[in-house]
């Protein structure tokens, strides 16, 4: 007998009246109209059953610190970095851990069950690294957390030069990796010069190649049309044979680059099989701040990157921290912003936006057992929507969230009870 049978579900690829059979922690069958006996049967009533949401770009060490010690006045990336620097000396292991755990509670409620978080390695004490490694252990039963060693103050700019015993950027990053941080990060556009930025990309990719790790670098997060670190990233990925293992995050300068140059760059990125993570809520907030009018949107060229066959995901980046004052762990909100800013308004493009917060980031993170197929982990979300486009439009309620076959969160359906003159009494949830 099955442990659980979900029937009458719509899947993200459009298949209707589908059943999903669960035994233990795994999906054992996905087929139309299954009738096998089960301890528990759930009728999805034609609603959308999706794999969990995945956020492949986040900063869990900074989340929920909004207003500490003050608010970002200019709204720029650089003031955000300065503000985080002001906060760092007063951070404690307990405070970082507590805020991260609170955020993860919110994430589960929103069906967000896999997160790649950058963790600042610039502090020689590696306080944030220790805190998030502990958080990773504690949330493992309900969230897959992948950590990226992120030299926020600049790998080379932070000093040390990698000399043994010097607690500089390179040394701190390597110690974080030794402690178990999964992925190599970077921030070349924050190094002192373009040349040092390129050198940092080279060093970091070599560290990843030596250790057999993935790379996910903050890259060209500015409106500078001449910021070209993604070119170096593609070159190093290709040179070191890291094809399909390197991600460029943000790439906002591509928005402002010369079109001819981009036509060449896209080929280099394809050759290296780079993945891209665009963070629409934060990019549209932080970029364009030095413009008068017209103001640039500061989003990388998402449709063009997709047209080249690259994996492009949407990430959340920040929530209530020095860089972004809003957010609620809702990846549908992120997809909606990306859809609007990138003008991905065809039916096919809107469905693609849903994949960019589910299957694509799962592929970038190389998650095992992810998906709605026999043999995958029994992790999924039942949404109050009939298809992925409606889910984005309504920021649909996550009626039920399952992890390894167990219900771990539920939310009541969002309905309005209407009592209007000349209209029948009714409840409505905007499903046109």
Q: Which residues are the active-site residues?
A: 221
Q: Measured from the CB of residue 429, what is the shortest distance to Fe ion in angstroms?
A: 34
Does position 231 interact with Fe ion (CB under 5 A)? The reply is no
Name which of 22 and 277 has its Cβ closer to Fe ion.
277
Dihedral sign from CA coordinates of 30, 350, 58, 226: positive
Residues of this chain, 300-339, that bind Fe ion according to CB under 5 A: 317
Q: What is the nearest approach in angstroms of Fe ion to the Cβ of residue 315?
A: 8
Angle at 304 between CA 303 and CA 308, to 5 degrees: 115
Rounded to the nearest whole angstrom, what is the least distance from the CB of residue 240 to Fe ion in the complex? 23
402 φ, ψ to 5°? -110, 140
Which CB atom, from 121 or from 384, has the smaller least distance to Fe ion?
121
Q: Which is nearer to Fe ion, 80 or 111 (CB)?
A: 80
Mark residues 273-292: x for contact with Fe ion by CB under 5 A, - for none: --------------------
Tell me whether residue 60 or residue 143 sits nearer to Fe ion (CB atom): 60
Provide the 8-state DSSP code for 315: -
Cβ 261 to Fe ion, closest distance in Å? 24
How many whole angstroms from its chain centre is CA 156?
26
Parallel, antiparallel, or unpaired for β 53-58 and 112-120?
parallel
Nearer to Fe ion, 153 or 317 (CB): 317
- Distance CA(129)–CA(118), nearest Å, equals 10
DSSP bridge pairs for 313 = 277
**In whole angstroms, how close is the CB of 218 to Fe ion at the nearest point?**
5
Nearer to Fe ion among residue 185 and residue 405 (C-beta): 185
Tell me whether residue 161 is exposed, middle or buried, using C-beta atoms within 10 angstroms of its C-beta: 0 to 12, 13 to 18, 19 or more: exposed
In this structure, what token pair is assigned to residue 168? 């500089």
State which residue, 55 or 317, has the beta carbon closest to Fe ion: 317
Asked if omega into 294 is within 30° of 0 (cis), the reply is yes
| Residue that is written with structure tokens 């046109």 in the block | 432
Contact 299, 312 (CB under 8 A): no
Residue 412 burial (C-beta neighbours within 10 Å; 0-12, 13-18, 19+): exposed
What is the smallest separation between the CB atom of 57 and Fe ion, expressed in angstroms?
6
DSSP annotation of 258 reads -
d(CA 80, CA 68): 11
249 phi/psi in degrees, rounded to 5: -100, 145
Ranked by CB distance to Fe ion, the top (closest) residue is: 317
Separation CA 260–CA 392 (nearest Å):
34
Q: Which own/partner pairs from 90-94 qualify as long-range (CB within 8 Å, at least 24 positions apart)? A: 91/127, 91/128, 92/127, 93/127, 93/130, 93/131, 93/134
Q: Considering the complex, what minimum distance in angstroms separates the CB of residue 344 from Fe ion?
A: 22
Task: Summarize as ranges the residues that interact with Fe ion (CB under 5 A).
Answer: 317
């Amino acid at each position: 007998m099955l442990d659980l049978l979900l029937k009458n579900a719509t899947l993200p690829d459009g298949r209707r009246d589908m059943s999903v059979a669960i035994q233990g922690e795994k999906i054992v069958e996905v087929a139309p109209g299954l009738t096998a006996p089960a301890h528990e049967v759930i009728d999805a009533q034609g609603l959308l059953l999706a794999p969990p949401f995945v956020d492949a770009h986040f900063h869990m060490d900074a989340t929920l610190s909004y207003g500490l010690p003050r608010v970002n006045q200019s709204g720029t990336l650089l003031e955000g970095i300065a503000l985080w620097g002001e906060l760092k000396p007063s951070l404690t292991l307990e405070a970082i851990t507590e805020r991260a755990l609170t955020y993860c509670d919110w994430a589960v409620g929103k069906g967000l069950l896999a997160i790649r978080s950058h963790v600042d390695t610039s502090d020689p004490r590696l306080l944030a690294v220790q805190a998030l490694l502990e958080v990773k252990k504690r949330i493992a039963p309900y969230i897959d957390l992948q950590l990226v060693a992120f030299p926020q103050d600049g790998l080379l700019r932070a000093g040390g030069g990698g000399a043994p015993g010097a607690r500089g950027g390179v040394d701190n990053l390597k110690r974080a990796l030794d402690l178990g941080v999964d992925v190599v990060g970077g921030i070349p556009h924050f190094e002192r010069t373009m040349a040092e930025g390129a050198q940092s990309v080279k060093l970091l990719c070599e560290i990843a190649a030596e250790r057999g790790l993935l790379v996910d670098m903050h890259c060209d997060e500015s409106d500078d049309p001449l910021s070209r670190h993604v070119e170096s990233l593609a070159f190093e990925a290709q040179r070191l044979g890291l094809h399909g293992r390197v991600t460029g995050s943000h790439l906002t300068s591509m928005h402002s680059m010369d079109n001819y140059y981009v036509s060449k760059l896209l080929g280099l990125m394809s050759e290296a099989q780079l993945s891209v993570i665009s963070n629409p809520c934060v990019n549209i907030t932080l970029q364009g701040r030095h413009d008068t009018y017209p103001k640039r949107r500061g989003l990388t060229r998402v449709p063009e990157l997709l047209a080249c066959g690259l994996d492009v995901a949407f990430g959340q980046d920040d929530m209530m921290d020095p860089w972004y004052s809003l957010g609620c762990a809702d990846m549908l909100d992120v997809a909606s912003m990306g859809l609007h800013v990138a003008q991905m308004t065809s039916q096919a493009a809107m469905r693609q936006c849903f994949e960019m917060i589910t299957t694509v980031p799962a592929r970038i993170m190389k998650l095992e057992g992810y998906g709605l197929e026999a043999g995958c982990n029994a992790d999924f979300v039942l949404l109050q929507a009939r298809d992925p486009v409606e889910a984005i439009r309504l920021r649909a309620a996550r009626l039920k969230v399952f992890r390894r076959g167990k219900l771990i969160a539920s939310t009541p359906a969002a309905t309005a009870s209407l009592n209007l003159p000349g209209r029948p009494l009714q409840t409505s949830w905007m499903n046109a």
